[in-house]
A and B are shown apart, each in its own frame.
Chain A
Amino acid sequence: MGRTLFEKVWDAHVVEKLPGDNALLAIDRIIAIEITTPQPAAEIAERFGDRLFDTSSIVGIIDHVSPAKDSETAIQAQAMRKWAKAHDVVFYDVGNNGICHVVIPERGWVEPGITLICGDSHTCTHGAFGAFALGIGSSVQCGAMLAGAIIQKKQKVIRINVNGKLHPSATAKDLALTVIATIGFQGGTGAVLEYHGTAIRALSMEERMTLCNMAIEAGATTGMIEPDETTIEYLRGREAQPKGEAFEKKAAFWRTLCADPDAVYEKTIDIDGSQIRTVVSWGTNPGESVSIDAVVPNGDAGSLEYMDLQPGTPMRGIAIDQAFIGSCTNARISDLRAAAEIFKGRKVAVPTIVTPGSQAVKRQAEREGLHDVFQDAGALWTHSSCGPCLGMSMGVIAPGMRIISSTNRNFRNRMGTGGRVHLATPVVVAASAILGRIGTPDELPAEVPA
């Protein structure tokens, strides 16, 4: 019987089958972030002689809050720094860092066919490369740092075919939100979403990362995409990848990593890419999203109340108080370029923050002059951080404030206690920032001549 892409990667990492359909699964890469690593590091130091299984498999990074914003985050960052140094772990410190799900790919630490874990739910991002990449808790991370493996149940696999050509106005974020709305906020629980089809093949690596990033928002363990020449060309020459023949040897293996034609899936969902349109969230989970041309649906009463919205209100036209472009979903260079196109020659109507996904993205954006475009428009251009996405720093919103955001979670209290979040693409966030309400670029007045 044929195997799915997931099964091929899974099978290649099973060290031992364990009771209850569990496996002891070998882990190739551990991304150690400052939020979830100090606790397991201390545990191993106190109880297991401070012995790590394989320090070369670990990449450390200051990720969520950079630089420290108070004593707690300074203590946290310092604990990470000392630990990484003591164990000779590769470490991306303040200045040379960014959001781990942006930095790890851009430095080449993820590749097709590997297993990768990180104590962050958006680790599913890395499935864009055809890796089995999953978010885990600190205890599981601790076990992996100790033994080079995790205990995991074999996942079901849901095949999502996206064929046709994406409509010009649709982005990977719109596709991600459409998938979640289609299978439901809980629809992927216990499963891997394997993306196939011509519309997927046509996506750049950055777009694939945006799509896989939101697999967790359907409850899925991860998203996965077969590697192809797009994947190989992205990885060629990256810091952590070998050069020359050694790279070509790996690439030859990656080209073989695909689902068999007779692979069996838990279920298959077909989406017509040409039908995808601009999507924006109205409620308090990413599944509560609609077309921007729709009205607020007669949805969950609690969500409507929290969001202070009435069913029937057009999504276009909902007034906003703040706008944010950033996060592991939508803050890569292509996202910033797309937003800059909209900001160019215009002014924002509400406080707007643009936070690049990594310091490398920041530098590239500045080489292209995008920072001037954002700042000329009146937006705040920051260094890289997770920022207000999870209500930690750099733009947290007040109770009752409504933000349009290129992030991934519109949960209650997420970006600040009592705050209301509408998820959208960077382009829609930029257009809405200029309009002061939810809207799209076609509603904007022509550029003001310079």
Chain B
Amino acid sequence: MIISGSVITLPQENLDTDQMYPGKYLSLITRKGLGRLLFEAFPTGRELLEKNPGASILVAGENIGCGSSREHAVWALADWGIRAIIAPSFARIFHENCYSNGVVPVVLSDRAALDACFSAKTLDIDVDNGVVRKDGREIARFELDPLRKDFILHGGFLEYMATKVDQVREWKRATAASR
């Protein structure tokens, strides 16, 4: 899988999920069509989206997605068209939520490589091989969680969990006596 597309950049640290998706919209019970609410209370982000329709890669600062566990933030990003996020670090729950929705979380700690991403108009992310390319040249390598990478490439996180039902049930039965 190669994700090629134009880039939007949000270099600030600690961009929390409240900024991505305001709490007041947590009342919606759908996860479809939430892209219209992305960055609604965050003017810098909203402007960026309006200026860059069609962008598919977000390059962000440290600790992106901190705070609330709301998966709505990733649903909104994915619905708007973001397919990959490059950042030096991800907050744990947001990181997991990216994987759950096929949004590729690319952790890049190398400053030079990050700067190259921040200054890029477009990037190519080779998900299978863990390579970021700019103007056809490799600028960084990254690793994904091997198990969750499979969910991105082939889908089916829930299908995978469904295959575990009998095993977990048997484990719980076997350990019940000792608990």
Contacts and interface: CB of A to CB of B under 8 A. Distances in A.
Interface of A: 12, 15-16, 18-20, 22, 24, 26, 35-36, 38-39, 42-43, 47-48, 53, 64-65, 70, 72-73, 75-76, 79, 119-121, 123, 135-140, 142-143, 146-149, 151, 153, 185-186, 189-190, 216, 219, 221, 285, 302, 390-392, 396, 409, 411-414, 417-418
Given A35-B26, A36-B71, A391-B18, 9 more contacts: A12-B175, A119-B69, A146-B158, A147-B162, A185-B63, A185-B66, A390-B26, A409-B68, A412-B42
A18 B162 contact: no
A119 B169 CA distance: 23
B56 interface: no
B79 interface: no
18 contacts: A35-B26, A36-B69, A39-B71, A47-B158, A119-B71, A135-B93, A137-B93, A139-B71, A139-B101, A142-B161, A146-B162, A147-B168, A185-B66, A186-B66, A189-B89, A219-B63, A409-B68, A413-B22
B23 A414 contact: yes
Interface stretch (B111-119, B121-129, B133-141, B142-150): B142-150
Contact of B18 (A38, A186, A190, A411): A411
Given A139-B157, A413-B22, A147 B164 contact: yes
Contacts of B161: 142-143, 146-147, 149, 151
A121 B31 CA distance: 19
B9 interface: no
Contacts of B158: 43, 47-48, 139, 142-143, 146
A411 B29 contact: no
3 closest cross-chain pairs (CB), A and B: A139-B100, A390-B23, A137-B71
B4 interface: no
B23 A38 contact: no
A413 B168 contact: no
A39 B168 contact: no
A297 to B, nearest CB: 17
A138 B96 CA distance: 10
Given A79-B29, A121-B69, A147-B161, A186 B14 contact: yes
Contacts of A53: 165, 168-169
B41 interface: yes
Contact of A411 (B19, B24, B30): B19
B164 A149 contact: yes
A219 B66 contact: yes
Nearest to B28: A72
A391 B23 contact: yes
A15 B167 contact: yes
Interface string B150-175: 00000001100110110111011001
Given A20-B146, A189-B91, A143 B71 contact: no
B5 interface: no
Nearest to B151: A151
Contact of B171 (A15, A36, A42): A15
B23 A135 contact: no
B100 A137 contact: yes
Contacts of A18: 147
A120 B69 CA distance: 5
Nearest to B90: A189
B60 to A, nearest CB: 14
A142 B159 CA distance: 11
A413 B96 contact: no
Contact of A24 (B12, B63, B93, B168): B168
Contact of B27 (A22, A72, A418): A72
A136 B147 contact: no
B26 to A, nearest CB: 5
Nearest to A123: B69
Given A22-B147, A26-B171, A392-B24, A413 B92 contact: no
A16 B167 contact: yes
B14 A185 contact: yes
A18 to B, nearest CB: 5
A189 B92 contact: yes
A318 B101 CA distance: 43
Contacts of A20: 145-148
Contact of B29 (A39, A153, A396): A39
Nearest to A145: B161
A15 B171 CA distance: 6
Contacts of B89: 186, 189
Nearest to B143: A20
A400 to B, nearest CB: 14
